[in-house]
Structure 1
């Protein structure tokens, strides 16, 4: 694929960010919406300009390309919206009354050629590659201007930019590439590391994952040279505030664990998962911070989030999809399978996720409520979209140990999350085979990542039978794991 004008837009940055010093760090660095377009020559001439350019990329993670219909990229399509629908996380997505349009009712059946779904797929492709283009533009200029940076800002900006480039390519590979157990050597996506006009040939899935790993290792080494002494909240410098809203040093290691596991490299996946767990910077909760009786409900278990996108649009997406008022339409729901996922077998109605991640909508219907924005929600907990959770590191460590026939260690990691969710520890005598442990890991993904999109990628990584794993009612699941490359891309750059 080439980086051409159809996927490149001028970097849009919040010019007002440079005015934010007077806020004394009380606002997040993504909290001010874009006010103006700044020319790239002017923008990438100062340290603050590079920071603003990177901030612009974080902001566009909440936006889709112009050929989409307004759904947020990482705040809707790749999380609570389309990708969660592909994972059959809502058992009524086939209802055409949801948002009054046909995206979900067709996506839930994997009708990728249907016009509405196909349009959104093209928007995802274009949105991710647009971000990659902007990152490559930033990276093409940062080295020669290294002297303008102070403190650890150079390493921070460059490290985060390279890490984001890896994240975007990885999610493209997970969506448009073949399942890794069968298609590692099949063409997947272009892996683009230069800001140029000429086409970039499609890489195999193996090559694309290698590119992600190379970028993430480079980013890790750069970010290791920044201040990693603490996970920051508000600081005097808006750019360094709220570590969890940056693709930070620990999140990069977590992403390495995720990519290595997708590649099938158990040793490295386990190494980085354990490293993140051992850092203890993002501890598991010890009580139900999301309980309905709490004065403040921390529905996302925020202390556990390694990387979370901040977006002022979370409330509107949540209202449109889940918390509709009476007469406003049909919300997405998980009702018939909720007990099967959370309570049956080794589950329990005492699971914090079961009791606290489902509430009545404004119309009185039981709906997933992880992203409800309560009226008294403190600023710190508002508008958060989890992208990497520390619980995933426990699941990765558990899966790696299990696949190495170390069932005891695997169950230890699983039980740490279970007990942090109000569940009893698993009885080792009841899960004494690798298959039984694997089934418990899958159930944890289904419970933990509702509305976050990660469950679909879990199924795809292991090439699970979607009928058995999800109970999907789709008449045909052939090809469900591979989104089609947009037609315009094929015309311009043949895979």
Structure 2
């Protein structure tokens, strides 16, 4: 059996943490410098180190440090290219032409195929790390202090669900047409033994079961320090971790993907009702603000902290030569409008150092306070409002659904939609679609929204590329298919 949290990996984590050791967020907690597998889970710190390693793993893929998993491929990179956030990607030489081929959905092209395989292996590597931790944790419950047992175990199970859910959303069929089609292996045991593929519906059920268990565990942990630090680093900045509210929000997302609108609405309403993530009342992202909060960070339920963010952003949107990825003026105007009142989300576009207007959501301004640095949004409170709006629309409660949609619109400087603009289910659904397109630029969630509803990608995104029938389904890596259902290749893939 391979050891997921082997000595080399943990030394790498330790080096990363040490290098950025002047900061105080959870991912910058010092790790042990001697972490053989036999001793890793001998004390509380070993479990915290193991969990920290997984969060670090969310910021990189097996293909290289320049292509982060949740800081690149699944946010500002591949998934954003697939919904035409950057129309010039089709001719871009960036990342050795990866984006040009991604924009054509050419999954058989060598570079694209390798990156998809890297996403698969990196996700399952993270899952293996979590399963390894969970193998030991119950027997060591007595070594934990404070609420750390519930926090570590709860976050680990919730992250396992997150990774499986995103794998299912990439490699499975759209739930609108393929709930009974095989999707992915759902792996709950740390073992070299193979795990067979399961249908999409089964994978979603397993995600829900994990998230419910995680939610119940995290309910016993303190979540008061969502965006702040204390002397107890492990309890600080929990907004940057799979906290209790993030677990509920992810449950809302999974329930909606499955088609359970009653439970999706319930979970979303509980997160909204917590009042811990209030919608913005002013344009904190505007260029004239003394400190630009480009991400509307107070609305983030779960965000990933990544010290690679500036490097990844610069490589795509502020390149020293050639053209950066861009959304041209005509496309931007079509999405955000050109008449007053102006959408505050237009503040997500600025000129780079060469005077080219680019998406600037991830720019790291020189005077950015520590709390706002190096953050990648993964779940926003606005999505919870969209989920409620959609669920109410499906239930025939148009005015209620429109009200939840309008609350986000007003939190972006726009007027509420008039009743005549949401007079039936189709028009309200169209307005929700417009909001996803505006809100989640550079975040990857629009791709999954279109896929969930099996929308026509060419129509929705306005791409000039031909969109093949299989555009929504990433191909399972060749070696995985070759060895399924036994999955004897699993450890070779995970640790490539």
TM-score bracket for the superposition, by shorter chain length: over 0.9
Partner of 1:12: 10
Cα distance change on mapping 1:35 and 1:334 into 2, 3 Å: farther
Cα distance in 1 between the residues matched to 2:100 and 2:18: 45
Tell whether 2:132 aligns with 1:137.
Answer: yes
Partner of 2:105: 110
Cα distance change on mapping 1:299 and 1:275 into 2, 3 Å: same
Partner of 2:382: 391
Tell whether 2:356 aligns with 1:365.
Answer: yes
1:307–1:387 Cα contact (<8 Å) kept = yes
Select 2:24's aligned residue among 27, 34, 39.
Answer: 27
Select 2:342's aligned residue among 350, 354, 379.
Answer: 350
Select 2:299's aligned residue among 304, 313, 318.
Answer: 304
- State how 1:282-361 maps to structure 2 within 5 Å: 282-325=277-320, 328-335=321-328, 336-343=330-337, 350-354=342-346, 356-361=347-352
CA RMSD of aligned residues (A): 2.1
Partner of 1:220: 215
Select 1:181's aligned residue among 176, 196, 209.
Answer: 176
Select 2:428's aligned residue among 416, 437, 453.
Answer: 437
Instruction: Give structure 1 stretches of 5+ with no counterpart.
Output: none
What is the aligned residue count? 482
2:240–2:303 Cα contact (<8 Å) kept = yes
- Is 328-337 or 405-414 further displaced after alignment? 328-337
1:466–1:477 Cα contact (<8 Å) kept = no
- State how 1:61-76 maps to structure 2 within 5 Å: 61-65=58-62, 67-68=63-64, 70-76=66-72
1:12–1:38 Cα contact (<8 Å) kept = yes
Indicate the SS of the match to 2:88: coil
Quote how far apart the aligned CAs of 1:12 are: 2.0
- Is 332-341 or 387-396 further displaced after alignment? 332-341
Cα distance in 1 between the residues matched to 2:91 and 2:34: 40
- Is 451-460 or 484-493 further displaced after alignment? 484-493
Select 1:255's aligned residue among 223, 232, 250.
Answer: 250
Partner of 2:43: 46
Cα distance in 2 between the residues matched to 1:5 and 1:72: 24
2:51–2:130 Cα contact (<8 Å) kept = yes
Cα distance change on mapping 1:349 and 1:316 into 2, 3 Å: farther
Indicate the SS of the match to 2:90: coil
2:155–2:242 Cα contact (<8 Å) kept = yes
Cα distance change on mapping 1:7 and 1:40 into 2, 3 Å: closer
Quote how far apart the aligned CAs of 1:467 are: 1.5
1:68–1:122 Cα contact (<8 Å) kept = no
Partner of 1:486: 477
Cα distance change on mapping 1:229 and 1:383 into 2, 3 Å: closer
1:307–1:386 Cα contact (<8 Å) kept = yes
Cα distance in 2 between the residues matched to 1:124 and 1:15: 23
Cα distance change on mapping 1:348 and 1:331 into 2, 3 Å: farther
Instruction: Give structure 2 stretches of 5+ with no counterpart.
Output: 488-496
Indicate the SS of the match to 2:376: strand
Q: What per-residue deviation string (whole Å, max 9, x for no partner) do you get for residues 52-108 of structure 1?
A: 11011001100101x457300000001000111112211111023334x11100001
Partner of 2:52: 55
Quote how far apart the aligned CAs of 1:129 are: 0.1
Quote how far apart the aligned CAs of 1:262 are: 0.3
Cα distance in 2 between the residues matched to 1:103 and 1:5: 31
Q: What per-residue deviation string (whole Å, max 9, x for no partner) do you get for residues 204-236 of structure 1?
A: 000000010000000000000111345351111
